[in-house]
Structure 1
Amino acid sequence: MSQTAHIPSHRKPRRGASKLSLRAGVAGGVLSTIAVAGAAGPANAEPLTETVEMPTLTSLDTDLASVVAASAEASQQEALDLSLRAQEDAALQKAAKEAKKAKAEAVRKAEAEKAEAEKAEKARSEARERASRTASRTSLTAHSSAGTSAGGSSTASKPVTGSAAAIVAFARAQVGDAYISGGTGPNSWDCSGLVQAAYRQAGISLPRVSSSQSSMGTSVSLSSLQPGDILYWGSRSGSYHVAIYVGGGKYVGAQNPSTGVVERSLDWDMPSGAVRIV
């Protein structure tokens, strides 16, 4: 026996020929079956195929981009509309403020012009009234002087009779009484209250207020006054004060709270005009 007879070999054992033959036979059978099936089918048959379309990512991305773009455009348009409305509102508010300011300025200017016109008219009226009083005072003085030179006495020396006498006597009897607005006697008077009461002594009924009293009777010039005539200050239909002429260039009237009922010369406060009722 050799020395290596009992040493086992380290090489892998080769596959058996029988196994290789078996596998070759199986493969050949499969190929034969496929060949037979192919031969058995129609000569012009086409291979059976079925295509299933699946959604692609490219289409989904395109749709999503369109939606996002439309949303962004809508948001931008909405923001633009809001901005335009805000600008319109601001413009309207500014226009309203400017219109209100212009109206207020126009009203103020109109009131100022009206006040200035009234002031100018009042000044002209006062100037005309002063001129009229000056002219009346000059005429009255000249008339009194002429009467004294011709007859040796003034009109005060002429006797007062009838209704005029009663009016003058009553008026003079109240000199020294108090002045109270709205007073009608017996110890306090206002100007028209005294005139009304004096004429009542002569049986003549007069209205209560001065503007109505001076509107009655016949208008006479201050140079032709007679005792009992009603003197007025202001316009005839809008007088603010009345008194009674008592002769001799004097009158009796309820002047104001500080003086009461007084007898004064016409020169002390020249009246605007006179009316004659008796």
Structure 2
Amino acid sequence: MSHTAHIPSHRKPRRSASKLAVRAGVAGGVLSTLAMAGTASASPAEPKTESTLEMPVLDMDLAAEVSSAVTTAAENTRLAAVEGELTAQEESARTGAAAEAKQAKEEAQKAAEKKAKEEADRKAEAERATRASERTSLKTTSGSGSGSGSATAPQGTGTVTAPATGSAAAIVNFARAQVGKAYVMGGTGPSSFDCSGLVQAAYRQAGISLPRMSQAQSSAGKSVSLSALQPGDILYWGSKGSAYHVAVYVGGGKFVGAQNPSTGIVERSLNYDKPTGAVRVL
């Protein structure tokens, strides 16, 4: 016993049996409740129902499909590359062909210009070489022609030393009367002519109709030798039937022709530009 137990104010009050019983009941209820809660919490939770999406089942070999797709893609890529290369080669070939054609054209044009220049130089040289002899011949024929009875007219720069009568005289006189006029491609007179236009117009004076082109005129009559020419014969250069130039023989070893734009219509010696052949229409 405490040393203060004999003092009433310091004594602990005694608990009655009824109060202890109530407290025991409350404690038991609490413990029972806790036990039930524990039991409830220890029991497994009811599983939740979850909804899932079912994927379609593929009835194919996916690996084989992927491999096939890769192979197809690779083949398409290869074919596209081959096609591109072929296209590039074709384009290169077209470009190369065009360049070669252009170069060939330029070379042909240069060759033609060179040939034309050489031909012009050759004719110019021949003309210079025969100019002196022509002057001498002109003086001689002029002097002898004044007393001759030949049917020629003193026109142009030359005269006909061989006799020309009838239709031949009409042809020769007309041709010589045109000397000095201009050469124009396609010209048929009266102020300008080309080679076949002059021959056609000269023969028209004799009432003879000739073809327009030199090719046809070169085969209009019978062939004659250059050593047996007569005034009015048609001289041609090139092959018979495909001649590229014609003129009128006026006698005395001379011809009148529409030569080119630089010389116009002239009277020249056969030695100036020897013809290939001759035909006689009269």
TM-score clears 0.5: yes
Aligned twin of 1:180: 184
Report the equivalent of 1:235.
239
* 1:6 matches 2:16: no
Q: 1:251 aligns with which of 241, 250, 255?
A: 255
Residue 13 of structure 1, CA deviation = 4.3
1:103 partnered with 2:94: yes
Out of 207, 212, 219, the position equivalent to 1:208 is 212
CA 1:233/1:6 → structure 2, altered by over 3 Å: closer, same or farther? Answer: same
1:1-278 residue pairs with structure 2 within 5 A? Answer: 4-9=6-11, 13=15, 16=19, 18-19=21-22, 54-55=49-50, 89=80, 92-106=83-97, 108-109=99-100, 158-278=162-282
2: distance between equivalents of 1:177 and 1:114? 35
Superposition deviation, residue 225 in structure 1: 2.4
CA contact (8 A) 2:254 2:267 kept: yes
Distance (whole Å) between structure 2 residues aligned to residue 247 and residue 205 of structure 1: 22
* CA 1:178–1:23: 2 relative to 1, 3 Å: closer
Q: Secondary structure at the match of 2:9?
A: coil
SS of 1:268's equivalent in the other structure is: coil
| Cα distance, 1:21–1:220 mapped onto 2, change above 3 Å | same
SS at match of 1:7: helix
Which whole-Å deviations, capped at 9, do the CAs of 1:61-89 have from their partners, x for residues lacking one? xx8xxxxxx9xxx9xx89x95x9867765
Letter in 1 for 2:94: K
Letter in 1 for 2:96: E
Q: Unpaired segments of 5 or more residues in structure 2?
A: 30-45, 56-61, 123-159
Q: Equivalent pairs: percent with the same residue?
A: 53
Flag structure 1 segments of 5+ consecutive residues without an equivalent. 27-50, 64-69, 131-155
Q: Tell me, yes or no, if the aligned pair for 2:214 and 2:246 is still in contact at 8 Å.
A: yes
Tell me the residue number matched to 1:134. Answer: none
Partner letter of residue 176 of structure 1? G
Structure with more of its chain in helix, by fraction: 1
Give the drift of 1:20.
Answer: 7.4
Q: CA deviation at 1:264?
A: 0.6
Please report how far the alpha carbon of residue 95 of structure 1 lies from its aligned counterpart in structure 2 after TM superposition.
Answer: 3.0
Distance 1:88 1:175 in 2: 75
**Cα deviation, residue 107, structure 1:** 5.1
Q: Flag the 1:267–1:158 CA change in 2: closer, same or farther, 3 A.
A: closer
Q: Distance in 1 between matches of 2:187 and 2:10?
A: 166
Deviation at 1:171, TM superposition (A): 1.4
Label 1:18 to 1:218 Cα distance change in 2 as closer, same or farther (>3 A). Answer: same
Question: Could you state the TM-score of these two structures normalised by the residue count of structure 1?
Answer: 0.55
Letter in 2 for 1:232: Y
Residue by residue over 1:190-209, the C-alpha shift from the partner in whole angstroms, topping out at 9 and shown as x without a partner, is: 22222111111211001223
Amino acid at match of 2:220: M
TM-score, structure 2 normalization: 0.55
Deviation at 1:91, TM superposition (A): 5.1
CA contact (8 A) 2:182 2:265 kept: yes
User: How many residues are paired up?
Assistant: 209
What is the letter of the counterpart of residue 217 of structure 1?
G
Distance 1:19 1:220, change over 3 A: same
Contact 2:5 2:11 in 1 (8 A): no
Distance 1:157 1:233 in 2: 23
Structure 2 CA distance for partners of 1:211 and 1:11, relative to 1, 3 Å = farther
Structure 1 residues 157 and 22, CA, compared in 2 at 3 Å: closer, same or farther? closer
Once the two structures are superposed, residues 232-252 of structure 1 have per-residue CA deviations (whole angstroms, 9 ceiling, x without a partner) of: 223333333211011222101
